[in-house]
Amino acid sequence: NLSDRLERSFKILKGEGKITEINVAETLKDVRRALLDADVNYKVAKSFTDTVKQKALGMNVLTAVKPSQLMVKIVHDELAELMGGKAAELKIEGRAGAPAIILMSGLQGSGKTTFSGKLAKMLKERNHKKPLLVACDVYRPAAIEQLKVVGETVGVPVYSEPDNKNVVEIANHAIQEAKSKANDVVIIDTAGRLAVDEEMMQEIETLKKAVNPNETLFVVDSMTGQDAVNTAKEFNDRLDFDGVILTKLDGDTRGGAALSIRTVVTKPIKFVGTGEKMEAIDVFYPERMADRILGMGDIVSLVERAQQQFDEEEAKKLEKKIRKNKFDFDDFMGQIQQIKKMGNIKDLAAMIPGVGKQIKDLDIDDNAFKGIEAIINSMTPKERANPDIINPSRRRRIAAGSGTKLDDVNRLMKQFEQTRKMMKMVTGLNSSKMAQMAAA
Ligand code: GDP
Ligand code: MG
């Protein structure tokens, strides 16, 4: 699934000090695959990963968090950005004394009738509006009945003309009725077909021209995945709608349709439907959808767990070596690398709450390890693995080879011995000894 894929791809980045061209390419290949799996359109996924790549390569990871987490954040922010930044508004004020007119469009079963009811309820309760629902799905008698049931549920009147098949007439009559009854919002529910069909398109196009809505909304079932994009495009070409309603997000839909539709038709997603009940309506939040597409919480915790596990394994190995007094310069170097990997020490420390201010004026040398590394690098593998053989003549050679002084090498040897002793002492206090001490 998506989380697994991303976890795997982020593993490639784990432990890398910075985001490089190579690990970005590898990771983004997997991100792209993950997006396709989340029903994101191919072209959209491609251009998306290209953008992320540019952003990621410009980032200086050394001063920030782990590269894997930084990548998650870049991908997440870019997703949210692409899906609209902030939540889009709905125009609910009519023109000069006339009611606001909201026209629903979309395929059959997309959720138009249900959403009409949800919207009416929301406008009534939250915006103190007096909506009127209008039944312009005139082909199936059951459709009018359905809207009436919905209207009753939410306590909103429904205008219908059972024997009239002319939707323009019905809509115009309804608007007159709204004016006379002081309804300030008219929500027009229309007929959909199972697939895009010329007759239906013409009808809704004509209706739109006739009533000149303040909002034309395109309702789409998020479970339809890739098809949703094509449908959205065809409706938008004909209707130039104002916003998208993404329904059935309560299912196990992966949400990729949101990103694709937003990118392909460049119209905002205004609301989402999250259930069959009339309360199941939500403003569309790009951030939340980005989380959903990424499975964000999951990924971040997976990455962290993976990292922790990695550190624990390393620590266990190290402990074993120390206990056998086998801690050597390779391990010492490994420790230095671990510390360096965490990034700029000062930046890192500054991120700890409360510490930031205190260390601001402190001079922390990022090159603190340079001399030490040079000395260790000048040791032969045999010397590194067996520090005890490093006698005075070897030390002189190492100093010359590393461009340091004999004093420097001696100091490092002393430091190393101290570290080794201390580590042995600390790990010597293993659980059983601790228990003995506690009991004593
Ligand atoms: P219309 O043909 O476009 O008017 O679609 P309907 O409003 O009749 O909805 C079709 C089906 O989808 C109905 O069974 C609704 O109850 C269901 N439905 C609509 N919106 C949602 C939603 O957000 N979540 C779920 N689970 N079902 C929905
Ligand atoms: Mg309907």
CA distance 219 to 86: 20
Centre of ligand 2 from the C-alpha of residue 204, in Å: 14
- Which residues form the pocket of ligand 1, taking CB atoms under 6 Å from any ligand atom? 106, 108-114, 192, 247-248, 250-251, 273-276, 280
Exposed, middle or buried: residue 200 (CB in 10 Å: 0-12, 13-18, 19+)? Answer: buried
Whole-number Å distance, alpha carbon 116 to ligand 1 midpoint, is 10
Binding residues: 106-113, 189-193, 247-250
Give the least confident one: 82-86, 288-292, 311-315.
Answer: 311-315
Question: Which two tokens mark 105?
Answer: 């469009």
Stated pTM of the model: 0.64
Among all bound ligands, the one having the nearest atom to the CA of 249 is 1
Q: Which one is predicted more confidently, 119 or 342?
A: 119
Find the mean pLDDT for residues 322-344: 68
| Banded model confidence at residue 147, pLDDT cuts 50, 70, 90 | very high
CATH of 100-284, one of 3.40.1350.10, 3.40.50.360, 3.10.20.90, 3.40.50.300: 3.40.50.300
Among 246, 276, 278, 282, residue to substitute to test ligand 1 (most atoms within 8 Å of Cβ) = 276
Q: Which stretch of 1-10, 102-111, 158-167, 404-413 has the lowest confidence by average pLDDT?
A: 1-10
pLDDT exceeds 70 at position 217: yes
Q: What is the mean pLDDT of residues 408-435?
A: 69
CA distance 18 to 38: 28
Which class in CATH covers the domain with range 324-439?
Answer: mainly alpha
Q: pLDDT tens for residues 228-281?
A: 888 999 999 999 999 999 999 887 666 778 888 888 888 999 999 999 999 999
State the average pLDDT for the chain.
79
Q: Which residues are annotated as a binding site for GTP?
A: 106-113, 189-193, 247-250
Whether residue 353 is predicted with pLDDT greater than 60 in this model: the reply is no
What superfamily would CATH give domain 2-86? SRP54, nucleotide-binding domain (1.20.120.140)
% of residues, the chain, pLDDT over 90? 42
Q: Tell me which residue has its CA closest to atom 2 in ligand 1.
A: 109
Q: For 19-56, what is each residue's pLDDT tens digit?
A: 566 567 767 777 787 777 777 888 888 888 888 888 87
Spans of all domains in the chain: 2-86, 100-284, 324-439
Does residue 72 contact residue 28 with C-beta atoms inside 8 Å? no
Same fold, 2-86 and 324-439: no
Q: Are 316 and 430 in contact (CB under 8 A)?
A: no
Given a cut of 70, whether residue 2 has pLDDT beyond it is no
